[in-house]
Amino acid sequence: MTYAERKARRAANRSAHQAEARTEINERDAAIERLKPVADGGNNFAQSLIGQYERKGYLSDKQWHWVKKLADEAKAPKAAPAPATNTPNLAAIFDKFAGFACGGLYFSKKNGADLVWILKDGDMHYDRMLLGKLEGGKVTLFGRKVEGARMTTEEVWTIIADIERDPLAAAQAHGRLSGRCSCCSRELTDPVSVERGIGPVCLEKMS
């Protein structure tokens, strides 16, 4: 290798290193920028890391690890608490009935309160598992409880959406399948009621 070649190679190496260093600095500055909202949100650790970087212009590898980790976590925020969803049609059922069974769920109105527990229906009352609540016309599901009952929130929302769309139709479909009235839990025996999937008194109240 000639002197000129060696010189050219050294120059190329140098500029490659410089480019690498620039990339590293850019990435670190970008991570600090992404960490700022976390610090503004009251995270003391993030505030301390940014403060040290701005004062000293330097952080240890371990600290950079945390900067990137916290910034990445901020980019993919943890699941937000379940929002309450307005379900006026579902809520209206409990102006007339204290309980309602439909699609594998059982709704149980708390006496004298504007509160309805949403439960996974079971063969026996004590098999019923709490999944969420309907309060002030809004449904809130308890994620952990839903998991504990071996259901997914999507499944529960699907059933609730079905009822909300058309409570009477949902009650009738449930009654035809189960042979019981959704509104009063009585067995449907009269052929007309079996066909309708709901008892005559409850049909009138629901209509």
Nearer to Zn ion, 49 or 206 (CB): 206
Binding mask 170-189 for Zn ion (x = CB under 5 A): -----------x-xx-----
Strand partners, 197: none
Interface with Zn ion, residue 202, by CB under 5 A: yes
From the CB of 118, what's the least distance to Zn ion, in Å?
A: 20
Size of site (CB under 5 A) for Zn ion: 5
- How far is Cα 47 from Cα 142, in angstroms, rounded to an integer? 33
Q: What are the helix (H) ranges across the chain?
A: 3-40, 44-56, 61-75, 88-96, 143-148, 153-165, 167-178, 191-196, 200-206
Interface with Zn ion, residue 160, by CB under 5 A: no
From the CB of 181, what's the least distance to Zn ion, in Å?
A: 3
Distances (CA, A) of 25 to 17, 35, 64, 196: 12, 15, 11, 71
- How far is Cα 87 from Cα 150, in angstroms, rounded to an integer? 24
Binding mask 16-55 for Zn ion (x = CB under 5 A): ----------------------------------------
Binding site for Zn ion (CB under 5 A): 181, 183-184, 199, 202
